[in-house]
Copies of this chain bind each other. A is one copy, B any other.
Amino acid sequence: MKQTLSIVKIGGNLIEDNAALNSFLTAFSELSGLKILVHGGGKKASEVLGQLGITPQMTNGRRITDQDTLDVVTMVYGGLINKNLVARLQALGCNALGMSGADANSIQARKRPIKEVDYGFAGDVANVNAEKLNQILQIGLTPVFCALTHNGKGQLLNTNADTIASEIAISLSTNYHIVLYYCFELPGVLEDIKDPKSIISKINGDSYQKLVDKGIIAQGMLPKMHNAFASLKNGVREVRIGNLNVFQKEKDNYTTLVI
């Protein structure tokens, strides 16, 4: 029987809310077995860009990463957020190891080709180094990934954290029974966005399409769901979407994706 590996993605809103982050980190550190944390940080990056007089450039909700922006996200994701998360996890007894995709050559990416939009130094994941990640897990460390990868030629690339989580999950699914958690500010995918009790407890491929057609799954949730279903189709055993409740045993407390 394969060992269970939990891969947990947290978004920027959670990182910015100190009380919520404390609760999250405590719950994460108490999660038994092997685990990996993946974090975003776009809100803080936009704040630092503003302080430096650089206007964040976005198209269709995606950041355009010019050289100055790359330097700032490298500072904020790889430095400020990552190192503080690691230090706080250490205080909770979790032996965290902060990483970008360049570290241990863990995630190589390709610079996104220029089509209608030039996204600049944005990377699409090309390869996850499952062997090295496995060795890091087996010496008792908990990788904490920021949303940066590299192209293997010395260039760092800004990469969507949801995608990093699902690509790591797929890559390690040969070795482990993977449970992938997407944690954000809502308790799950909601039938009615205004009613936190209206959690849709299970979504499969069919019902997903209906929810998209009805407009219940829209905007920022679309790429998250796309990544989630892709990971299920490629070996990941379970995907849970919600906030801290994803760590509970009651299966109706969060949204579970199935195929």
Interface residues of A (CB under 8 A from B): 48, 51-52, 71, 74-80, 82-84, 86-88, 90-91, 95-100, 102-105, 132, 135-136, 139-141, 148, 150, 152-156
User: What residue in chain B is nearest A52 (Cβ atoms)?
Assistant: B51
CA separation between A52 and B54, bound complex, in Å? 12
Residues on B with C-beta less than 8 A from A104 are 95-97, 141
Copies in the complex: 2
User: What residue in chain B is nearest A71 (Cβ atoms)?
Assistant: B80
Judge whether A156 and B102 touch: CB under 8 Å: no
User: What residue in chain B is nearest A129 (Cβ atoms)?
Assistant: B95
Judge whether B90 and A102 touch: CB under 8 Å: yes
A100's contact among B52, B74, B83, B153, by CB below 8 Å, is which?
Answer: B83
Enumerate 28 A-B pairs (CB-CB under 8 Å) in ascending A order: A48-B75, A51-B52, A74-B80, A74-B84, A76-B79, A78-B83, A78-B98, A79-B79, A79-B80, A79-B82, A79-B83, A84-B156, A87-B156, A88-B154, A90-B150, A91-B152, A91-B154, A95-B104, A95-B132, A96-B103, A96-B104, A97-B99, A97-B103, A98-B99, A98-B102, A132-B139, A132-B140, A135-B139
